[in-house]
Structure formats: structure tokens, C-alpha cells
Amino acid sequence: MPASLQDQLVVAISSRALFDFEEENHLFETGDAAAYMRLQLDRLDAPARPGVAFALVKKLLAFNTPERKRVEVVMLSRNDPVSGMRAFRSAAANGVALERGVFTQGRAPFGYLRPLGAHLFLSANEADVKQALALGFPAARVLTESAPASEAHPDEVRIAFDGDAVLFSDEAERIYQSGGIAAFHTHEREKARQPLPPGPFKPLLDALNRLQNAGGGDGSDGGAPKMRLRTALVTARSAPAHERAIQTLMAWRIAVDEAMFLGGLPKGGFLREFAPDFFFDDQTGHTEHAARHVPAGHVAAGVANEPPARSQGAKPPTA
């Protein structure tokens, strides 16, 4: 019977998002591919340090047991096969069991998300992330300068999401941009019981919800790992606009463990308290601020990421 990734949470990740390859990447970006390959070959037996998304990947893989594989992580990289060999060796040296990888030697790799059926793509390459989002895959540009993940919750994967243009569509943001804050609040109050259309990360939240409900997390089903998953909605929405966000999740039959309606307060301190292994936001400024505290990724979706000529005014308090 052929191998299959069906019924697994599939995460595709670039080697630079998984490991600290910033020094090597600097050489890669000079255009001297031969020198880059020589450097990686010279360092073949020198394990790379963990990168921004390493903790997330290691914890997700801990959901796998000998009885059942629930998560598959695939390296999907513009690197050459030699560099890919170093990435695999680095994974093994850091206690991460990776089995699959695609290395394209400079060619854009995002097309391989389709045969993988990926639920998430993490990369430090902005162009690849945008193309993945255009294909309908949840994708984020990893901020390689992010703070490391907290070690406070070793048996719990923690993931935090912005709301509008991430979990939800950017419908509400567009109302704000065209009509201002009063129009936004009127619109959201009138449509409080009407679910928002899904945003680019709704499929990932679906997949995480299935993983969360797969076994109970306490080993009671015989094959379940002793790992838990905790999710949070971290949004600048405030009352009365909070209600539509909650009603939307209820309509989707998806629960988040925590919801923070911050009314425009900076998210960084709240994220530091929640201590996510990763946070996703569509706003460059919000993502950069969050990265001072937690691992963060930018989701280049929605009106806030359109060219300036099409995106007028300030960011609405809906993120």
C-alpha cells in the first residue's frame, strides 16, 4: 500500500525557518551559489542551531506515537541537496525526526504544497509565502529575528492567531477603511450573528482542532501522546465587535482556548504571558512588535498588505 499523509497535520517548512542559517543565507544572497554550497559542505557535520520555528515543529512532532502518526513535517526549501543533507543531519542532532524533504536549488518550492496537501507553510522567503497564500495555503513569513519560544510549557503546543485577515476574512477591515470607526462598529453590530467569511488560516485552525480532539492528550486512549494543544485569538477588536468573532467560531464549530479582545492595546505583553510557540498576524508592525517577545510570522493577506494606492488610511482596530 502506498505511503499517504491523509489524516495527518502536514507542516511544510524551509530550512532557514527551522534552523539558524542566517550566516549561510547571507552568502547565498550574494549570488555565489558555489561558495554557499562549499560552506554547507564544510559544515556538514556541524549541526545548525535551532531557528525560530524549531520549538513549534519539535512539539508538534511529539504528538506522534509508535501506534499512530498524527503530524508530518516536510522540509521544503530553495536549498540544494547538499545543504538539504546538512539540514537533515541538524534535525537528527537536535532530536527532531524528519523523514521527507524537497530541495529545489534556487527554484521556488511552493508548488509542492499541493501534492503534500500542506496545512501550513513557514518560510523566511516573502515571495514564496505570498505565492503559497495565493494558492490557498496557510502560509507565513517567519521573522528570523524573533525571540525564542518560551520553555515554560514543555508538554503543550501553544499557537496564537490574529483575527481579521488571518482566521477571518478582511471584510471588517475594508469597512473601516472606507467608512471609519463608526461605520465599522455599526457594521459589526448589525452583522453580529452573521459569521465572517473564512480567512487564510481557517484551514490550519480546522486541522489543529482535529489534532486537539484526536486523543485527549493524557494517554487514556492507549495511543494518544501526552501532549496538549492550546490556541488563542489575540485581536485588537473590542466590544461590541468581539461578538461577531465569537459567533463566527461557534458557527464553524471550532473552539479556541483563549480569546483576547484588546481594543488596540499592544499585543506583545499579552503574547509574552500566553507564551505561544508561534504567533500569526497580517500586520507588519504588529508582527515585528510581537517578535520582540515570541516567535512570530507575517501573513501577507488582506487589505493591509495591498499596494498603498489601493489601501487608504490607517489600520482598523480589528486585527
Secondary element (H or E) of residue 129: helix 126-134
Q: 264-267 — which CB contacts under 8 Å span 24+ positions?
A: 264/236, 264/238, 264/317, 265/236, 267/234, 267/236
Q: What's at 167, amino acid-wise?
A: L
One of 80, 128, 162, 282 is an active-site residue; which one? 162
- CA of 58: how far to CAs of 1, 17, 147, 149, in Å? 28, 13, 17, 12
Instruction: Give strand ranges (E) for 58-183.
Output: 71-77, 100-103, 120-123, 139-142, 156-161
CB-based contact 88:45 (threshold 8 Å): no
**What are the grid coordinates assigned to 285, written together?**
508592525
Axis crossing angle, helix 81-93 with helix 33-42, rounded to the nearest 10: 30
164 annotated active-site: no
CB-based contact 162:281 (threshold 8 Å): yes
Closest by CA position to 62, among listed 206, 277, 257, 226: 226
For residue 289, the tally of other CB atoms under 10 A from its CB is 16
Q: How far is 240 from 229, CA to CA, in rounded Å?
A: 29
Q: How far is 162 from 81, CA to CA, in rounded Å?
A: 36
Axis crossing angle, helix 22-29 with helix 33-42, rounded to the nearest 10: 160
Residues identified as active-site? 162
